[in-house]
Amino acid sequence: MTLFSRTEYMDRIQRTKAAMADRGIGLLVVCDPANMNYLTGYDGWSFYVPQAVLVIDDQEEPVWIGRNMDVNGALHTAFIKKENMIGYPDDYVQSDVKHPMNFVGDVIKQKGWDKKAIGVETDAYYYTARSDAELKKTLGKDTLADGNLLVNWVRIIKSDAEIALMSQAGKIAEKVMATALENLVPGKRECDAVAAVFQAQAAGTPEFGGDYPAIVPMMPTGEKTSAPHLTWTDDPYQADQAVNLELAGCRHRYHCPIARTAFLGPNPPQKLSDLADITVEGLNLTLDTIKPGMTGEDVERVWRKHIAKKGFEKESRIGYSMGLNYPPDWGEHTASLRPGDKTILAPGMTFHMILGMWMDNFGFECSESFRVTKTGAKTFARFDRKLFVID
């Protein structure tokens, strides 16, 4: 019942081993839940306790280590043999005296793998300072090799099977955005509109059920649009205000983020309409220009030149690689569309390009999730690019 074929998983592992060899790593301790999923298929909301997948240079399959009660979840979702799934007893959980990373270190020692150069994902969300210290203590090593983002970079080119899931996420994203726009009614509480969005995200479409996106719906309005990561309140939406919508569809942990802006009333301010036109024009132009062989910074330059002609500039990056992920972020922390990014775009890479233009007291944003094809860029969702005027 795994999501991908054994062949596909084994290909991912081969490419991971090659990247490990490049960094001189013989055993990689993978704690990022998206990377654990990528390498084994394991999918569960168990990342609130330490867990790991070990990739070992001379072992065919990786080894999954998690809490005893999650071994059944691994049996349901991961492609590896049962003998490569190892559970730790519950007294390791939130204990003063022992830590799950002691168990992971003990497994490594028992197998004799502690002679290898061991790498860890130093900046992965759930690989804490204590995880690192306890692993080092058990292994008797002062330092470990840096395997940070190693698997993330292996993930950057998606397979056809992954692209298929992201296309399904795109269908869900279309429905999610339509639902959000329908629920932007002056007088309706923000929490009620967000509730409809959550409903649409999980229900998905009749063909493709939805999964939970790695980020909750962001639908700020009024002055809160200047605080991009505040969530919702009980306040009712007001007439004659703009609402920024940063949402996503998700299918089997694969995302299609989508952002749009709406105005709640028939007469949006001219400066907002003008900004919307310039931004959408730039989005269209930039998407149309993308070709394999361009770098991340090449893509950004197209946009930058366009808005410069209109008298604007934008400081932050305009996009990033994304796909498979878990809370708190759907971004992959690898390639960005920004000055200085030398990543060469190749078919199968997938990005969220998000153009948010923030003036002193208003803003407009519009985004597309797309894949790089052999000849250009193809979006995962089809949804009008414009300022939505809700009459």
Site for a copy of itself in 154-193 (CB under 8 A): 189-192
From candidates 208, 351, 383, 388, binder to a copy of itself by CB under 8 A: 208
- DSSP secondary structure letters along 245-268: EEEEEEETTEEEEEEEEEEESS--
Q: How far is the CB of 117 from a copy of itself (least distance, A)?
A: 17
Residue 203 in the binding site for a copy of itself (CB under 8 A): yes
Give the one residue of 86, 117, 202, 389 binding a copy of itself; rule: CB under 8 A: 202
* Separation of alpha carbons 276 and 271, rounded Å: 9
**Cβ pair 148, 332 in contact under 8 A:** no
Residue carrying structure tokens 């979006």? 379
Q: Quick check: 38 binds a copy of itself (CB under 8 A)?
A: no
Please give the helix or strand (H or E) that residue 10 lies within, else none.
helix 6-22
Question: How near is the Cβ of 149 to a copy of itself at its closest, in Å?
Answer: 9
Q: Which of 182, 373, 200, 226 is nearest to 290 (CA)?
A: 373
By the rule CB under 8 A, 267 interacts with a copy of itself:
no
Q: How far is the CB of 335 from a copy of itself (least distance, A)?
A: 10
Cis omega before residue 328 (within 30°)?
yes
CB of 188 to a copy of itself, least distance (A): 11
| 309 binds a copy of itself per the rule CB under 8 A | no
Task: Write out the binding residues for a copy of itself, residues 215-254 only, by CB under 8 A.
Answer: 215-216, 218, 224, 226-234
Q: Does the footprint of a copy of itself cover residue 46 (CB under 8 A)?
A: yes
Judged by beta carbon, residue 32 or residue 379, the one nearer a copy of itself is 32
Minimum CB separation of residue 376 from a copy of itself in Å reads: 26
Q: Distance between CA atoms of 320 and 330, rounded to whole angstroms?
A: 10
Beta bridge partners of 55: 28
How many residues bind a copy of itself (CB under 8 A)? The answer is 71
Q: Is 125 in the site for a copy of itself (CB under 8 A)?
A: yes
Taking the complex as a whole, the smallest distance from the CB of residue 357 to a copy of itself amounts, in Å, to: 14
Q: How far is the CB of 290 from a copy of itself (least distance, A)?
A: 21
Residues in 56-115 that interact with a copy of itself by CB under 8 A: 69-70, 72-73, 75-77, 90, 94, 99
| 341-380: contacts with a copy of itself (CB under 8 A) | none
Q: Which residues in 163-195 are b (16+ Cβ under 10 Å) and which e?
A: bebbbbbbbbbbbbbebbbebbeeeeebeebbe
In the structure encoding, which two tokens stand for residue 220, read together? Answer: 């700020």
Short-list 368, 372, 358, CA closest to 296:
372
